[in-house]
Amino acid sequence: MGMDKVIEKKKGLRPKHLIWTAGILLGGFLLFKITFTQNISTYRTEKDKLTISTVEEGIFNDYITVVGQVEPITTIFLDAIEGGQVEERFIEEGSIVKKGDIILRLENRQLYQTILNSEAALAEKENYLRNTRINFETELIQSRKNLLDSRYQLNRKRRTCEQYTTLFGEGLISKEEFLQAKENFEYEENLLEINRLKARNDSLIRVTSMQTLENDLTKMRKMLELVRERLDNLNVKAPVDGQLGMLDAEIGQRINEGQRIGQINVLDNFKIKALIDEHYIDRVRRDLPASFERSGRNFNLVVRKVYPEVRSGQFQIDMVFSENLPANIRTGQTYHIKLELGESAKTTLLSRGGYFQSTGGQWVYVMNEDEDEAVKRNIRIGKQNPQFYEVLEGLSPGEKVITSGYEMFGTNDRITFK
């Protein structure tokens, strides 16, 4: 029986190996395309229609630009101290006034009646005081006469008593006569003391009553003066020198007590009022410097007051001039003011643009080296001024970023150029 023959395996690549290798490579390529290409959404656009800015390293000036309006440094409001009907206007809006100038004259018939009643009451009080003083003088005379009569009777009774005492000792009169003379003397003595007490008490009462009446009369005179001052208040006067900025009162109009009818602008200095976005409310404080340019000159300001109220997403500040004022400055003028929020510092800068409205500064489209596409990248920005954003993370100097608006890009992760 013969032995089986061993068949040797052929070495080298066979056609089937090539087929398997090509299939593996094709599958890997398709898997790569599915994993890394199809998941990246792409938007194609023309590069010339975009604004592309280069990330820079430079000095960041921490300021914002605000629009300020000129106002008088002080505004004095005119409130009617006394009510009445407008009888006459002497000064019109916009006129320069001096302190004490009469602006309006009011008419108040009821006030006139009040003054007449006060004058009548004062005259009545003065007449009553005069009559009381006459009565007191009469009573004083009568008291003095009573004291004089008592002293006279007392002296007579004393002599009679002394004489009767001698005669009674000699037995020339009866005891009853002696006792009557003695009792008459003691009576007159007590009566004199009573008259003295009465005169003293009457004097105290007279002084107290007269003082009270005098005080009442003084109060009534002061009250009449105040009422007459109310009459003078019917003349609405300028409390300070300045410009009559507003006057809300027409002839025949009824003005109530305390009603605001106008204002006077003090023109010896000016302030600038500005409204600022509430985003900066924690950074704006008193004494911050500011400036603006006019006619080739810079004028410096300083924040004097920051108002805490936020209305319609804005808060108000007042700034005053720290040096010279512009020539021909007028109330109501507007200036574009550079308000400094902090010190300048070297940092990474990215130009402002429409992209911020879509991204809120959280990401941008960054160009590749060949500048044929841009890919979305997360960034972090810090402070901002009218020209730049301060870049804290995500970008390096020299990189290029699409800074125009992103509205047409939608949610695509990559931008390619035609």
What does the alpha-carbon distance between residue 326 and residue 344 come to, in Å, rounded to a whole number? 27
Q: Can you tell me the distance from the alpha carbon of 65 to that of 340, in angstroms, rounded to the nearest whole number?
A: 9
**What's the pLDDT score for residue 23?**
67
Write out the two tokens for 122: 């004062």
Nearest to 270 by CA among 195, 322, 201, 229: 322
Query: What does each C-alpha distance from 62 to 59, 283, 359, 381, 383 come to in angstroms?
Result: 9, 11, 22, 14, 7
- DSSP-based three-state secondary structure for 321: strand
Length of the chain: 418
Q: Which of 272, 392, 382 is nearest to 325 (CA)?
A: 272
Q: Is the pTM of this model over 0.75?
A: no
CB atoms within 10 A of CB 191: 16
Amino acid identity of residue 267, one-letter, is L
Q: Which of 87, 78, 79 is nearest to 112 (CA)?
A: 87
Angular region, 100: left φ>0, alpha ψ -120 to 50, beta rest: left
- Check the CA dihedral 11-17-22-28 and report its sign: negative
> Domain spanning 64-68+266-340: which superfamily?
Efflux pump adaptor protein, beta barrel domain (2.40.30.170)
Distance (Å, whole) CA 87 – CA 93: 17
Ramachandran sector of residue 319 (left: φ over 0; alpha: ψ -120 to 50; beta: rest): beta
What pLDDT is attached to residue 292?
93
CA angle 68, 72, 73 (to 5 degrees): 95
Strand partners, 60: 345
**Class of 41-60+345-417 in CATH:** mainly beta
Q: Is 61 helix (H, G, I), strand (E, B) or coil?
A: coil
- Domain boundary assignment for the chain: 41-60+345-417, 64-68+266-340, 110-231
- Quick one: 414 exposed, middle or buried, by C-beta within 10 A (0-12, 13-18, 19+)? middle
pLDDT recorded at residue 38: 47
The one-digit pLDDT tens for each residue of the chain (418 residues) are: 444 555 555 555 556 556 666 667 766 666 555 444 445 688 998 888 899 999 999 998 888 999 999 998 888 899 998 889 999 999 988 889 999 999 999 998 888 888 888 888 888 888 887 887 888 888 888 888 988 998 999 999 999 989 999 888 888 889 999 899 999 999 989 999 998 898 888 888 888 888 888 888 888 888 888 778 788 888 999 999 988 988 888 999 999 988 999 999 888 889 999 999 998 899 999 999 999 998 888 999 999 999 999 999 999 999 999 888 888 888 889 999 999 988 888 999 999 999 998 898 899 999 998 889 999 999 999 888 888 999 999 999 999 999 999 998 888 999 998 7
For residues 157 and 192, is the Cβ–Cβ distance under 8 A?
A: no
Which tokens hold the place of 22?
A: 């090509």
CA distances for 343 relative to 62, 323, 346, angstroms: 6, 21, 10
Cβ 415 vs Cβ 400: under 8 Å = no
Map tokens 């125009």 to a residue.
Answer: 404
Burial bucket for residue 80 (CB in 10 Å: 0-12, 13-18, 19+): buried
User: What pLDDT is attached to residue 1?
Assistant: 44
Query: How far is 131 from 137, CA to CA, in rounded Å?
Result: 10
Name 347's Cβ contacts closer than 8 Å, sequence gap at least 6: 57, 58, 60, 382, 390, 391
